[in-house]
């Protein structure tokens, strides 16, 4: 049975992990006969968004690991505890948390900073030539990790694609229910809610990503 490390970035599309993407990822992993362990950085979120109004909740702070634990039903560890040798595959669902809490791509674009512990784990999987999958906006991290014109996608948004290319990636436009595979890097990416207009479209995107990355040797 393949062991999958899943990195979450909080809880909520606008300031954390996209919940549908996260849950669909965990479900797809189980349906493919693999198992998972969730991780998240033990840091404060960039900010807190009121998901009812879309406004920043002034004066409120939340911890990425604590919020991610909501999705993982408490079964989660700090990213600092993730040992690449214990896992076969790495998967990062999207949500703005991936581009706000795991890195600052949402704010700073190509000049973004990266959470050191998250970057270390992602780079460790890349160096070990272990398959990895990044969904939605999470390929912003993959662009930094892999560089070298590695093929990846966030869908077809021109400005975001240019930001990934500026970090060293080679962006490929992709339909919502498809994936982009770079076999040399053993990297799979998919647009998910960068393009999805429904949970069923997100499911098609995420399930194909998971099945594709788990089939890699």
Q: Which residues are catalytic?
A: 136
Question: The sheet that has 35-40: what strands, in order across it?
Answer: 76-78, 35-40, 3-7, 89-92, 132-135, 187-190, 180-182
Q: Yes or no: say if 8 and 93 are a contact pair by the CB < 8 Å rule.
A: yes
Rounded distance, CA 74 to CA 77, Å?
A: 9
What SS3 state is found at 35? strand
Rounded distance, CA 120 to CA 79, Å?
A: 10
Of the candidates 18, 11, 2, 31, the residue with the CA atom closest to the CA atom of residue 207 = 31
| Residue 40: exposure state from Cβ atoms within 10 A (0-12, 13-18, ≥19) | buried
What pairs with residue 91 in β-bridges?
Answer: 6, 133
Rounded distance, CA 181 to CA 170, Å?
A: 12
Q: Yes or no: say if 98 and 56 are a contact pair by the CB < 8 Å rule.
A: no
């Amino acid at each position: 049975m393949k062991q999958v490390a899943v990195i979450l970035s909080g809880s909520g599309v606008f300031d954390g992990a996209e919940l549908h993407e996260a849950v669909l990822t965990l479900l797809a992993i189980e349906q493919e006969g693999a198992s998972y362990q969730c991780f998240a950085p033990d840091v404060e979120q960039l900010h807190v968004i009121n998901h009812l109004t879309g406004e920043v909740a002034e004066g409120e702070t939340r911890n990425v690991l604590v919020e991610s634990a909501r999705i993982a039903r408490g079964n989660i560890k700090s990213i600092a505890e993730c040992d690449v040798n214990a896992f076969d595959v790495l998967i990062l669902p999207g949500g703005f948390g991936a581009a706000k809490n795991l890195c600052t791509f949402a704010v700073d674009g190509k000049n973004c900073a990266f959470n050191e512990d998250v970057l270390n784990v992602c780079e460790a999987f890349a160096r070990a030539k272990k398959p990895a999958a990044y969904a939605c906006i999470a390929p912003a991290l993959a662009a930094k990790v892999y560089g070298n014109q590695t093929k990846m996608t966030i869908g077809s948004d021109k400005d975001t694609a240019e930001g990934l290319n500026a970090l060293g990636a080679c962006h490929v436009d992709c339909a919502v229910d498809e994936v982009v595979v770079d076999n040399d890097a053993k990297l799979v990416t998919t647009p998910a809610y960068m393009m999805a207009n429904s949970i069923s479209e997100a499911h098609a995107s995420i399930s194909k990503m998971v099945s594709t990355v788990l089939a890699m040797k």
